[in-house]
């Protein structure tokens, strides 16, 4: 009985620590598809330095946008991004939009 309680306490502590780490401080997605005309978004909190690494099979639009729509950084329509963006305080998101006619396959690494 005591061992079961210890396991439950350990799992509870692990879940709290993991939840803190899952505050979108790191995103890694390989082979993520973005159909034509659609987009994918990943939220982050500032202030932070955000490393943005994205590669795509077709050109995609990549932007860092505030929660109320203000564009902090527009990378344009590209196949690859490798940059560090200084996020001010507040909530931000990285948006990858596929303006083309075919599905984009993207690899994404985002970390603060």
Its pTM stands at 0.78
Q: Burial letters for 2-19: b for 16+ Cβ neighbours within 10 Å, e otherwise? A: eeeeeeeeeeeeeeeeee
Q: Which band of pLDDT confidence, cut at 50, 70 and 90, is reported for residue 25? A: confident
Token reading at 22: 């899952």
CATH 2.60.120.380 holds for 25-111: yes
Q: Which band of pLDDT confidence, cut at 50, 70 and 90, is reported for residue 18? A: very low
- What is residue 23's predicted lDDT score, i.e. its pLDDT? 53
- What is residue 2's predicted lDDT score, i.e. its pLDDT? 63
pLDDT tens digits, 59-83: 999 999 998 999 999 999 999 999 9
């Amino acid at each position: 009985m005591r061992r079961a309680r210890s396991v439950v306490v350990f799992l509870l502590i692990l879940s709290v620590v993991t939840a803190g780490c899952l505050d979108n401080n790191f995103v890694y997605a390989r082979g993520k598809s973005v159909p034509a005309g659609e987009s994918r978004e990943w939220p982050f909190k500032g202030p932070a330095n955000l490393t943005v690494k994205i590669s795509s099979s077709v050109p995609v639009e990549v932007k860092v946008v505030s929660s109320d729509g203000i564009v902090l950084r527009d990378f344009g329509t590209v196949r690859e991004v490798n940059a560090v963006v200084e996020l001010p305080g507040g909530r931000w998101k990285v948006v990858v939009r596929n303006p083309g006619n075919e599905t984009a396959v993207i690899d994404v690494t985002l970390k603060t």
